[in-house]
Amino acid sequence: MAIDLFESVTECGCAAKVPAQQLAGMLRGVDLPTSPAVLVGPDTLDDAGVYRLSDEQCLVQTVDFFPPVARDPEDYGRIAAANSLSDIFAMGARPLTALAIVCFPSRLVREGVLHAVTRGAAEKLREAGCVLLGGHSVLDPQAKFGLSVTGVIHPREVFTNAAARPGDVLFLTKPLGTGVTIMAIRAGMASTEQEQTANRSMASLNAKAAELARRCGAVCVTDITGFGLLGHAMQLARASNVALQINFEGAPLLDGAIGFAEQGLLSAAAYTNRDYVGDAVRFDDDVPLPARDMLFDPQTSGGLLICCPPNRVAELVTWAHEELSTTCGVVGRVVEATDGPLITVARRAIAAGGDGMQG
């Protein structure tokens, strides 16, 4: 009998994250061990940590796991692996090794579901040129799977979320809408094609997107996952001491996603993301509520948000259209910080290089 992993969970994918507001206060007052070798630590809420080994090499380390985000075990494994690897790519690094994190009900282990999940993850690790060294497993009533990934990079080549510069153009390399689409799938309201498209997008590696960021001269990159576009954009703005202008019509969307938002198919995480961003964002009056909801929608294995130098945007858009398998688009720009909101959201799309630039 076919397994539907959605039947075994209450939360799915990155929507299961601890709410960002609670997470933000978790380390407050804790005297953490540190070292001058730490180039990127927890203070900027970046995608991965960076530790200098020498003048020529740094370790880049991350860990990410979550409950099932797809019905099929192999799809779940592919998406979980792509999501874990994304943090390494978002730092501009090359993944080397991975350790599996497994929390699974004994029944699903006996029935071969964990084996299928691991097979899917191995496919993506192989594609990324990353080896699985082992891992750790525990029995758990609700399935969870992911990876701790280690990569390497030269100290001068690290991408961070703290290096945005006024004038940079914001480019998103995957469509938004995985949160509402997963809710629609679970409710039986999404088509097979919409489900398959979402799964393909989530399982797509961000390796090529990171390569394009490097090629266009970007130094500030972050990936968009459980805190939604606005949550991660706010973290970037704070870390870089800048402000952002977001234009909703430039944002690439999964097919049907805006319709699912109009029907109110939002996860609890979308509301906690809204609370997290709070007064840091101001919406123009003509931005409708479903559009606002899409910008708070928790993404699983989302795209990279690239701060592209303005004179390289046309090239980046061309390369992305030719080389990425996912839809993409110019979603805003970086501006000087003021006393006003960190992020302003307008409805109108930014034009770059003579067209609307949605890939």
Respond yes or no: is residue 130 known to be catalytic. Answer: no
Cβ(203)–Cβ(77) below 8 Å: no
**Domain locations along the chain:** 5-157, 169-346
* pLDDT tens-digit readout, 22-34: 666 676 778 888 8
The pair phi, psi for residue 222, each rounded to 5°, is -145, 155
Report the C-alpha gap between 239 and 251 in whole angstroms.
Answer: 23
Q: What is the token pair recorded at 23?
A: 């997470």
Which of 3.30.1330.10, 3.40.309.10, 3.40.50.1370, 3.30.1280.10 is the CATH number of 5-157? Answer: 3.30.1330.10
Percent of the chain with pLDDT over 90: 83
If one compares 226 and 18, the residue with the highest pLDDT of the two is: 226
pLDDT at 84 > cutoff 60: yes
CATH domain 169-346 topology = Phosphoribosyl-aminoimidazole Synthetase; Chain A, domain 2 (3.90.650)
What's the pLDDT score for residue 352? 47
pTM: 0.93
What's the pLDDT score for residue 273? 95
* pLDDT tens-digit readout, 229-268: 999 999 999 999 999 999 999 999 999 999 999 999 999 9
C-alpha distance from residue 149 to each of 45, 95, 172 (Å): 17, 7, 23
**HSE-up of residue 339 (Cα within 13 Å, Cβ side):** 0
pLDDT at 216 > cutoff 60: yes
What's the pLDDT score for residue 54? 97
* 109-117 mean pLDDT: 92
pLDDT at 351 > cutoff 60: no
The angle subtended at Cα 285 by Cα 235 and Cα 337, nearest 5°, is 35
* pLDDT tens-digit readout, 302-335: 999 999 999 999 999 999 999 999 999 999 999 9
The number of angstroms, rounded, from the C-alpha of 18 to the middle of its chain's C-alpha atoms is 15
Tell me the residue type at 117: V
- Which residue among the candidates 12, 14, 58, 130 is catalytic per the annotation? 14
Report the C-alpha gap between 164 and 170 in whole angstroms.
Answer: 10
Write a three-state SS string for the chain.
Answer: CCCCHHHHCCCCHHHHCCCHHHHHCCCCCCCCCCCCCEEECHHHCCCCEEEECCCCCEEEEEEEEECCCCCCHHHHHHHHHHHHHHHHHHCCCEEEEEEEEEEECHHHHHCCHHHHHHHHHHHHHHHHCCEEEEEEEEECCCCEEEEEEEEEECHHHCCECCCCCCCCEEEECCCECHHHHHHHHHCCCCCHHHHHHHHHHHHCCCHHHHHHHHHCCCCEEEECCCCHHHHHHHHHHHHHCEEEEEEHHHCCECCCHHHHHHCCCCCHHHHHHHHHHHHHEEECCCCCHHHHHHHHCCCCCCCEEEEECHHHHHHHHHHHHHHCCCCCEEEEEEEECCCCCCEEEECCCCCECCECCEC
